[in-house]
Chain A
């Protein structure tokens, strides 16, 4: 029987949907008991949320003041201590999970499989390589604990309705103090979250300034969409870094993705492969984005965006 431990992601108040997606991935493994591990200063609220995910049988809480901020250096030894006794350790392929899980794997002396996109067996998985230009099926050693990150865009969130037991663990571990949290800064506001939004409006280099980029925010607000950006737009300072979509930004799977003035470089397309519908607006009829778009319009975005916003008004 598989015993799977999922590292839950949260901000102390809300469990990140990446956790629910990891649960769905774990459910793909036959005959699995699924636990969620939560580290924090006080995880009572999020533990209740995790316990309500269907398919989770146990929630393990490790509360201590040093866990107020998720630093890989302090979290990793604690996760490693809890992980013994499990057959699988999953973390989300978010910046939190990607930072933490390899550190845990190395402490345990085991390799990691990054970005699981499909489960084919308890130790056989598919994952993308070369910016998604190839998909490799890998076999991991069944004799070792399997550490993996789950590509969140590949899985639906597991539904609510369960009632797992919640246990608290106190770990007798001295934690390193060589890494200290200083602060955080977010450039975007209370718009829908890019990674979970059903609709995404995204802009590229063609927007030409941060000021112009605002026309996308206006359209997004009209339709309740999150805003994304190409790397070129982020590099140029038109949009904050957390909006970048692609191989080195966020991998997303909205119902509809609208790309305005984005050429469709492979590194960008990697981030939107799983979008249900891709809409592309570009001046250049030869732009590669049209090869993958479900709906294309050759036009000037500076006419299209305001007109769409107007048509959708009221």
Chain B
């Protein structure tokens, strides 16, 4: 294991309560706190652990996004990534474009392993890892909650609807991580200082020969229908009675 590529997406922080714009053109992003997609922190943590387990692999954080995405890549460097690449674009990046771009980076970097989040918490698409694996013509292990790398192979435990599934994949491979894979480390102040000196390359999306296509046109964005607040019951007997009367028990 010589090199691990970790994909980092800049997203609205998961604690922010997202609101739609009154004109239905999208969600309000002005002044909203942005962070590393929580699943991508887990992906990075896993890469760092593989490195620290003695492989000493180089960990490269890659993001596609606006200039300010440098902030999230600095966070990744502070966590422990060795260097970072920002593929800069002002266009929204859909999963297929992200996968095509990540493929272009992967062809230059030739990593043994590419780690991504299972989904980005803004578009909730859950596509990029699978698309990247297809375009790269390599194995994919999605929703991984346990990963063991052994030479040219890896064994991955996946969280699936029926429980857990284990698969074996040849490297290089693409892995998308689930929440229970690990608990990401906290960044300490000295690490933030050190991260400022680590290399962060910025390249243009077009320099990779990828066009930022908008494949899907958003027509309008609205708030979901709100559920009405219901009634409060005073005790278990009343609860059971109401449920029975409604024909629910």
Contact = CB atoms under 8 A, between A and B. Distances in A.
Interface of A: 71-73, 76, 94-96, 98-107, 110-115, 124, 128-141, 176, 178-188, 195, 199, 223, 231, 234-235, 240-242, 247-248, 250, 255-256, 266-267, 273, 277-279, 281, 290-299, 303-304, 307-308, 311-312
Contact of B164 (A96, A181, A184): A184
B95 interface: yes
Contacts of A181: 165, 167
Contact of B237 (A115, A250, A311): A311
Interface string B220-249: 111110011111111111011011001011
A72 B213 CA distance: 26
Contact of B180 (A135, A182, A241, A295): A241
Interface in B113-171: 118-119, 121-135, 137-143, 145, 155, 158-170
Q: Which 9 residue pairs of A and B lie closest in terms of their CB atoms, listed nearest first? A: A186-B163, A294-B230, A111-B215, A102-B130, A106-B134, A106-B131, A102-B127, A182-B166, A95-B160
Interface of B: 12, 14, 17-20, 27, 94-96, 99, 118-119, 121-135, 137-143, 145, 155, 158-170, 173, 178-180, 215-224, 227-237, 239-240, 242-243, 246, 248-249
Contacts of B169: 178-180
Contact of B143 (A95, A135, A188, A311): A95
Contact of A250 (B161, B166, B228): B161
Contacts of B119: 248
A242 to B, nearest CB: 5
A113 B229 CA distance: 32
19 contacts: A96-B161, A103-B130, A103-B134, A112-B125, A112-B127, A114-B124, A128-B124, A130-B27, A130-B121, A131-B124, A135-B222, A136-B219, A137-B220, A137-B221, A179-B139, A181-B167, A240-B163, A296-B230, A297-B233
Contact of B235 (A98, A114, A299): A299
B218 A138 contact: yes
Given A135-B222, A248-B178, A140 B239 contact: no
A152 B54 CA distance: 44
A129 B163 contact: no
Contacts of B240: 308, 311-312
Contacts of B137: 176
A102 B126 contact: yes
Contact of A138 (B142, B170, B217): B217
Contact of B155 (A94, A182, A307): A182
A240 to B, nearest CB: 6
Contacts of A293: 229-230
Nearest to A235: B180
Given A102-B95, A111-B216, A292-B227, A129 B124 contact: yes
A72 B164 CA distance: 16
A30 B122 CA distance: 31
Contacts of A94: 161
A184 B138 CA distance: 22
B216 A297 contact: no
A176 B17 CA distance: 43
Q: Would you call the interface of chain B mostly helix, strand, loop, or mixed?
A: mixed
A182 B133 contact: no
Contacts of B129: 102
B155 A134 contact: no
Contacts of B248: 199, 255-256, 277
Given A135-B223, A135-B224, A137-B218, A179 B161 contact: no
Contacts of B223: 133-135
Contact of A184 (B123, B145, B162): B162
Contacts of A235: 179-180
Nearest to A248: B179
A273 B227 CA distance: 8
A296 B133 contact: no
Contact of B142 (A99, A133, A292, A311): A99
**Residue of B141, B160, B161, B169 with highest tally of chain A CB at under 10 A:** B161
A183 B146 CA distance: 14
A65 B248 CA distance: 45
Contacts of A256: 243, 248-249
A279 B239 contact: yes
Nearest to B176: A99
A296 B239 CA distance: 8
Contacts of A247: 121, 124
**Residue of B27, B173, B235, B243 with highest tally of chain A CB at under 10 A:** B243
Contacts of B217: 138-140
Nearest to A100: B130
Contacts of A140: 215-217
A307 B162 CA distance: 31
B236 A136 contact: no
B133 A103 contact: yes
A71 B130 contact: no
B249 A312 contact: yes
Contacts of A312: 240, 249
Given A133-B224, A184-B166, A292-B229, A139 B235 contact: no
